[in-house]
């Protein structure tokens, strides 16, 4: 079986030879690929407790960029091996450079628009930094992405990430609309737009918002009377219940590639509100509504959905959503077919 080294900037917590991360995609993708490859993970060591247990035995964690790159170098001469880098960050960019210097051509999987994320975090200088890394990486690697626009006219394979299986389409419940109950599932970070959303709905008793995505033992505190904050959920049935207990899903991100939570909300027939910065994610999907990033536009969209809720849900039945199995099969084929 071929070895596959997955190199990532992901922070992983280790406890008695068990490994945990907060990003569900980083758990499920290596686990899925492990059926077709001998997966080895190289990532960063986290001091914080994380939520999702990674069922992969061969994981090497580094406390610094020097030990991270040393681990990459140690595995350069591994026979019959391939290298999959997740996202472009300073850590993974340098790893890509090292692989290129040793005549290895890694695959780089771009899950989101780094230009937008770096701008949200670092301001105007962010896209300049990312562009420098992106252009060099494009010369020495093979790109894989979830959206064509993320490739910025560079060559690459397109995949459709998904966590969906049959359980997501079973026992769909009707929404209770006694109150407007919004749901956001994702990281509590600036670039995810959650703080912008909190400001928009502040002091609005007509709306309640549930956030599911707080890190374990997080010091982040959100004190807003119409907002509840919940830890990351690693149980699928509990996650499904969150969707079912709310009537509208909201995705306030400033930038997105192929958000898993969007597919999950569509699978549970919950209409989705996004802001105009990420309207490109709609494609041919039914049940997604775009509004401006202000309270009046958000309220107008919510009431439009409430008024036409049953019709919207009927339209959502036409969606053809990708599955986790299809995603892993496609990604495995790409990895096998791309030359080293």
Report how far residue 332's alpha carbon sits from residue 340's, in angstroms, rounded to the nearest whole number.
14
Name the β-bridge partners of 19: 14, 54
Pick the CATH number of 166-316 from 3.40.50.1970, 3.90.1150.10, 3.40.50.2000, 3.40.718.10: 3.40.50.2000
> What pLDDT band is residue 216 in, cutting at 50, 70 and 90?
low
pLDDT (0 to 100) of residue 297: 96
Report how far residue 101's alpha carbon sits from residue 148's, in angstroms, rounded to the nearest whole number.
28
> What pLDDT band is residue 235 in, cutting at 50, 70 and 90?
confident
Q: Is the pLDDT of residue 219 over 60?
A: no
Tell me the mean pLDDT in the region 224-241.
Answer: 89
Report how far residue 329's alpha carbon sits from residue 332's, in angstroms, rounded to the nearest whole number.
5
Mean pLDDT of the residues in the chain: 91
SS3 category, 112: coil
Residue count of the chain: 340
pLDDT (0 to 100) of residue 155: 94
Instruction: Decide if 3-162+325-337 and 166-316 have a common fold.
Output: yes
State the DSSP string of 177-208: -SSEEEEEES---GGGTHHHHHHHTTT-TTEE
| Alpha helix ranges (H) inside 162-320 | 194-200, 236-244, 260-267, 295-307, 309-316
- pTM (predicted TM-score): 0.84
pLDDT tens, residue by residue, 250-299: 999 988 878 889 999 999 999 999 999 999 889 899 999 999 999 999 99
Tell me the mean pLDDT in the region 187-216.
Answer: 88
Residue 275: C-alpha distances to residues 193, 221, 252 (Å): 10, 24, 6
> What pLDDT band is residue 102 in, cutting at 50, 70 and 90?
very high
Query: Is the CB of residue 52 less than 8 Å from the CB of residue 22?
Result: yes
Domain 3-162+325-337 of CATH type 3.40.50: yes
> What pLDDT band is residue 1 in, cutting at 50, 70 and 90?
confident
Q: Where are the domains of the chain?
A: 3-162+325-337, 166-316
Q: Is the pLDDT of residue 205 over 90?
A: no
Two tokens, residue 253 = 């991100």
- Among candidate residues 77, 59, 55, the one with its CA nearest the CA of residue 68: 59
- Residue 234's H or E segment, with its range, is none
299, exposed or middle or buried, with CB in 10 Å at 0-12, 13-18, 19+?
A: middle
pLDDT tens, residue by residue, 20-50: 998 888 999 999 999 999 999 999 999 988 8
Report how far residue 154's alpha carbon sits from residue 137's, in angstroms, rounded to the nearest whole number.
11
pLDDT (0 to 100) of residue 238: 93
pLDDT (0 to 100) of residue 340: 56
pLDDT (0 to 100) of residue 217: 58
pLDDT (0 to 100) of residue 339: 60
Share above pLDDT 90 across residues of the chain, in percent, rounded to a whole number: 72
pLDDT tens, residue by residue, 176-194: 778 899 999 988 888 889 9
């Amino acid at each position: 079986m071929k070895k596959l080294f997955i190199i990532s900037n992901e922070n992983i917590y280790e406890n008695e030879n068990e490994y945990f991360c907060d990003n569900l995609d980083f758990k499920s993708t290596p686990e899925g690929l492990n059926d077709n490859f001998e997966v080895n993970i190289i990532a960063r060591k986290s001091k914080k407790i994380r939520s999702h247990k990674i069922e992969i035995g061969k994981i090497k964690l580094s406390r610094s960029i020097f030990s991270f790159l040393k681990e990459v170098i140690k595995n350069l001469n591994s026979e019959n091996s391939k290298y999959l880098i997740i996202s472009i960050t300073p850590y993974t960019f340098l790893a890509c450079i090292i692989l290129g210097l040793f005549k290895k051509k890694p695959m780089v999987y771009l899950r989101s628009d780094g230009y937008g994320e770096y701008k949200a975090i670092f301001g105007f200088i962010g896209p300049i930094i990312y562009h420098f890394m992106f252009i060099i990486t494009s010369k020495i690697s093979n790109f894989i992405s979830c959206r064509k626009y993320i490739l910025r006219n560079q060559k690459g394979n397109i995949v459709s990430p998904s966590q969906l299986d049959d359980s997501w389409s079973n026992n769909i419940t009707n929404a209770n609309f006694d109150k407007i109950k919004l749901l956001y599932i994702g990281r509590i970070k600036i670039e995810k737009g959650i703080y912008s959303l909190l400001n928009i709905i502040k002091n609005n008793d007509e709306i309640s918002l549930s956030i599911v995505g707080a890190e374990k033992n997080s010091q982040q505190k959100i004190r807003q009377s119409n907002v509840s904050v919940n830890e990351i959920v690693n149980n699928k049935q509990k996650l499904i219940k969150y969707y079912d207990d709310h009537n509208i899903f909201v995705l306030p991100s400033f930038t997105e590639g192929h958000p898993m939570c969007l597919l999950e909300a569509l699978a549970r027939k919950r209409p989705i509100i996004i802001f105009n910065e990420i309207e490109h994610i709609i494609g041919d999907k039914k049940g997604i509504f775009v509004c401006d990033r202000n309270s009046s536009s958000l309220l107008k969209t919510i009431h439009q959905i409430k008024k036409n809720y049953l019709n919207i849900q009927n339209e959502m039945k036409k969606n053809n959503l990708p599955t986790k199995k299809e995603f892993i099969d496609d990604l495995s084929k790409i990895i096998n077919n791309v030359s080293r």
